[in-house]
Structure 1
Amino acid sequence: MTARPANAHQAQILRALRDEGPNSRAQLGDSLGLSRSKFAVEVDQLLETGLVVHDGLAVSRGGRRSHTVRLSPQLRFLGVDIGATSVDVAVTNAELEILEHLTQPIDVRDGPVATFEHVLDMATKLTAAGVADHFDGAGVGIPGPVRFPEGFPVAPPILPGWDGFLVREALGQDLGCPVMVDNDVNLMALGEQHAGVAKNVGDFLCVKIGTGIGCGVVVGGTVYRGLTGSAGDIGHIQVDPYGHPCACGNRGCLEAHFGGAALARDALAAVRSGGAGSAGELAERLAVSGTLTAADVGAAAAVGDPVALELIRTGGSQVGQVIAGLVSFFNPGLVVIGGRVTGLGHGLLTAIRTQVYRRSLPLATGNLPIVLAELGPRAGVIGAARLITGRVFSPA
């Protein structure tokens, strides 16, 4: 089992090296506010455990040159980001650099056992590729509500058969390492915070639009999960009391109107109803494949299909209305929009921005950037690795 830091100071050193990379002993000690003698004792203990190593001599600041220290290059973490229709699995080092990354289509409705068979098979392929012969920890993202302290999903609307499945215990036993589980959008937020568009932003919202819709809420640099882990479940905020039925059992939820499946449903209905939708790019795609997807809507909008553009404008406006309420309540410094549906492009972003800037008070929106996520599918696996390193780099 991987050694753990003995105290909070050692944990602070490990996390600083994770987030900022190798550093000289002198500069690292100064940045953490530790006395040189205290810092030297803690680093020497970490060197003995093998969690950190010396990495040559630093540039002289005058006088005796300091050694550079870094996290052990032997540490390996597994990041798993499960979506409704695909799973991403990656191996990272302790500085959360992706060493190898695989993506595979799945259907989470097949249940957790089948899904994690895919995950374990992908993990085996990654070890066979030579990037890891073990894992020091694994982080897992699931597209549904997760009871965070215990690490299992609770009544996830788009995951039949997953309710109460002990993900942490099951996967930890198979992998032989600590496992942590969280909602997928929280991990996306962690990834964008670590290496993406939200780096160095303390308070922000990260909205993921895919088959489902969720929001990661970061407060003071830390993901806010609420009492049990359900904070940010904005996909089930009602936008139309007489609207479409939702997988959660209610009616008119945001997710039922602008999740990936809802967008494909509305595009199909518009084309089949005749009128303006019976011609154009969407109609041609339907004729070729026999069905339509959210990706088809994005591609059609890119070439000016009027039906696709209207679907994006309407759905983006509904998302923007919900985000406007969040902005008024939370007053974030940044809003990040990510997920597969963001392939719809800047038409979606424009519709969201219009509603937020129109509906929220100027004090909340005067300096509020609303931007597309930067990392794409890498965000979830980086966030998953950051989640588990947060545990491994904590005192036992």
Structure 2
Amino acid sequence: MVTDTWFGQALTIGVDIGGSKVSAGVVTPQGRVLAHVRTETPHRSKSPGVVEETVVGVVDELRAAHPVRAVGVGAAGFVDEYRATVLFAPHLSWRGEPLRDALSARLGLPVVVENDANAAAWAEARVGSGRDSDDVVVVNLGTGIGGAIVLGGRLHRGRYGLAGEFGHMRVVPGGHLCECGNRGCWEQYVSGHALAREARSLVAAGSPVTRALSEAVGGDPSLVTGVLVGELAAKGDRACMELTEDAGQWLGLGLADLAAAFDPEVFIVGGGVSETGDLLLGPARTAFERGLTGRGHRPAARIVPAALGNEAGIVGAADLAREGLPRWCQGRGQPRLGRG
């Protein structure tokens, strides 16, 4: 007989599919990554089957040395309420892609597909910066913005599985065109893409304040990335620090709106852009305090950096796959955080 103890101790694989990479790892129930692989995401112009092939490859490589029982996939896109189909992925070529069934058939293992930000949030809520709170909102700043909500110790997905797409809240009517098809989305002002766009425009204009940035890319604006801007900001480059501070202000304003909607105890900010630390979070906290509805007359959520770094999506996807094992065998409900 397969017992709850067996479920709880199972090793699982978490796969994190982003706009530029596929990362995967074998994860213990305590959130420790035993083995890890990473490869580049195939270009979006290629078929969804190419990404599927990449995922199968990294899973097969990992399970060759570890007895895994299930696979969780965090996908950068809209995932349906059944955690089976990627409805839309702005940074990949998926449109109504039945990813769960395709992968399960090829791997011969139970598979759960989750939005990548949801997976990362689940990890942070269980074993990361939110482990002492039941009400957490996570904002991941990468190529775009991923968001997720844990309320009352439960991952809140919404009726159709699409809750938490904060990056596509429109904050500037008629603003920058977003890959989702709308204009003025939040992620066009707070993301690696946004940092790179603003920095490229300065380099292209020959602005004297971007001397260090221009030298770093040999004068070619197309080589500027959000990561590079963050690195130079951390080294004290004034222009890159100002760009990061501007992004922090946009971040804080958006978080104030999210506080009005969800009233969490803590906001966790993760993703590559957040690695600039207080250069980003300092201005964010200031803008948040100024923009918070009822400021001065209500408790304010804390804004803290994520604890798990690049492993959050892997750990969360793997844990959600483990939590799903009893459901596959015994018809149980969705996971809930344990508190002691």
TM-score by length of 1: 0.77
Which residue does the alignment assign to 1:370? 303
Counterpart AA for 2:276: L
Q: Is the 8 A contact 2:83 2:161 kept in 1?
A: no
- Larger Rg, first or second structure (1 or 2): 1
Structure 1's consecutive aligned runs of 4 or more residues displaced over 4 angstroms after TM superposition are: none
Offset from partner CA, 1:86-112 (integer Å, 9 cap, x none): 111011234443221112222451342
Higher relative contact order (CA 8 A, sep 6+): 2
Residue 113 (str. 1) matches residue 49 (str. 2): yes
Q: How many residue pairs get matched?
A: 326
Change (3 A) 1:157 1:365: farther
Provide structure 1 residue ranges, at least 5 long, that are not aligned to the other structure. 15-50, 53-70
Query: How far apart are 1:393 and its partner, in Å?
Result: 2.8
One-letter amino acid matched to 1:286: V
SS in structure 2 opposite 1:87? strand
CA distance in 1, matches of 2:43, 2:249: 29
Q: Does the aligned pair in 2 maintain the 1:82–1:184 contact within 8 Å?
A: yes
Q: Does 1:79 align with 2:10?
A: no
Could you tell me the percent identity over the aligned residues?
34
CA distance 1:119–1:150, shift in 2 (3 Å): closer
Counterpart amino acid of 1:151? Answer: A
Deviation at 1:117, TM superposition (A): 1.4
Aligned partner of 2:87 in structure 1 is 154
The alignment yields a C-alpha RMSD, in angstroms, of: 2.0
SS of equivalent residue, structure 2 residue 286: helix
SS in 2 for 1:265: helix
1:264-288 per-position Cα deviation (integer Å, ceiling 9, x unaligned): 1211111221234342x21211217
Retained in 2: the 8 A contact 1:277–1:283? no
Name the residue aligned to 2:335: none
Q: Once structures 1 and 2 are overlaid, which stretch shifts more, 267-276 or 227-236? A: 267-276
Partner of 2:59: 123
What is the rounded CA distance, in whole Å, between the counterparts of 2:295 and 2:61 in structure 1? 51
- Say which is worse superposed, 306-315 or 224-233, in terms of deviation: 306-315
Contact 1:272 1:278 in 2 (8 A): no
The 1:111/1:344 distance shift into structure 2, 3 A limit, reads farther
Whether the 8 Å CA contact 2:249–2:284 is kept in 1: the answer is yes
CA contact (8 A) 1:83 1:108 kept: no
Structure 1 residue corresponding to 2:33, chosen from 92, 98, 103:
98
Report if aligned partners of 2:171, 2:185 keep a CA contact under 8 Å in 1.
yes
Contact 1:206-1:338 within 8 A present in 2 as well:
yes
| CA offsets 1:291-313 (integer angstroms, 9 cap, x no match) | 11111101111122222112111
Q: Please report how far the alpha carbon of residue 242 of structure 1 lies from its aligned counterpart in structure 2 after TM superposition.
A: 3.0
Uncovered stretches (5+) of structure 2, i.e. residues with no partner: 332-340
- Report matched runs for 1:161-180 at 5 Å: 162-180=94-112
In the superposition, the TM-score normalised over structure 2's length comes to 0.89
Deviation at 1:217, TM superposition (A): 0.6
Deviation for aligned residue 1:139: 0.7
Q: CA separation of 1:364/1:181 partners in 2, compared to 1, >3 Å: closer, same or farther?
A: farther
